[in-house]
């Protein structure tokens, strides 16, 4: 092995080790590893696409959006994933959507909201699942041929503290006072 190849290999290994240490130091731990919830998110996304056609649009740099949300809420929101499925029929059956979502998400998830418009062109489902001190949340929203799937984890206590700060006028994007 040449010195140059050895140097590149050492640099690459060092980068992997630094990334692993950063992940281990985060409160989310191995968020980027394929978790059960991540598999449920992708299984639901692919099942919806297969059932009604359409085309999944992946949101670029989701990891960055998730990180910014976590920083902005001081840990109140994390593990955010978003997918959009376009070119679906303008109406879908709410019972079919709920049955598919429930089957693909697996055990532990509980539906807390189901809303269906009279014309069946708008459907909303919200599921939650406790994860220790966090709550995992999955939102499936259909609107006239477009479906959004959003998954995230919330830390209710931290999110409540941050909302109270915003209500007092501190650390909010609409305020100039960011000193709190």
Inform me whether the pLDDT recorded for 16 exceeds 70.
no
What three-state secondary structure class fits 30? Answer: coil
Cβ count within 10 A of residue 152: 20
Cβ count within 10 A of residue 111: 15
**How far is it, in rounded angstroms, from Cα 34 to Cα 16?**
17
The pLDDT score that the predictor gives to residue 171 is: 58
Alpha helices in the chain (DSSP H): 3-25, 36-52, 62-72, 94-105, 156-167
pTM listed for this prediction: 0.68
Question: What mean pLDDT value characterizes the chain?
Answer: 76
Per-residue model confidence as pLDDT tens digits over 128-163: 999 888 899 999 999 988 999 999 998 888 778 878
The pLDDT score that the predictor gives to residue 98 is: 92
Per-residue model confidence as pLDDT tens digits over 93-105: 889 999 999 999 8
What three-state secondary structure class fits 45? Answer: helix
> Worst-scoring range by mean pLDDT, 7-11, 40-44, 63-67?
7-11
Per-residue model confidence as pLDDT tens digits over 109-126: 999 999 988 887 899 999
């Amino acid at each position: 092995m040449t010195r140059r190849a050895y140097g590149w290999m050492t640099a690459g290994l060092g980068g992997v080790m630094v990334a692993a240490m950063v992940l281990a130091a985060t409160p989310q731990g191995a968020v980027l590893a394929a978790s059960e919830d991540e598999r449920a998110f992708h299984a639901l996304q692919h099942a919806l696409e297969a059932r009604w056609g359409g085309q999944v649009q992946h949101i670029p740099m989701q990891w960055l959006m998730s990180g910014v949300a976590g920083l902005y809420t001081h840990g109140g929101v994390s593990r955010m994933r978003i997918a959009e499925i376009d070119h679906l029929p303008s109406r879908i059956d709410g019972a079919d959507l709920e049955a598919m979502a429930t089957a693909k998400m697996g055990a532990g998830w509980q539906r807390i909201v189901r809303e269906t418009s009279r014309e069946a062109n708008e459907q909303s489902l919200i599921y939650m699942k406790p994860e220790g001190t966090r709550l995992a949340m999955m939102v499936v929203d259909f609107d006239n041929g477009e479906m959004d799937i959003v998954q995230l984890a919330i830390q209710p206590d931290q999110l409540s503290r941050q909302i109270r700060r915003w209500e007092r006028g501190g650390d909010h994007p609409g305020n100039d006072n960011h000193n709190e």
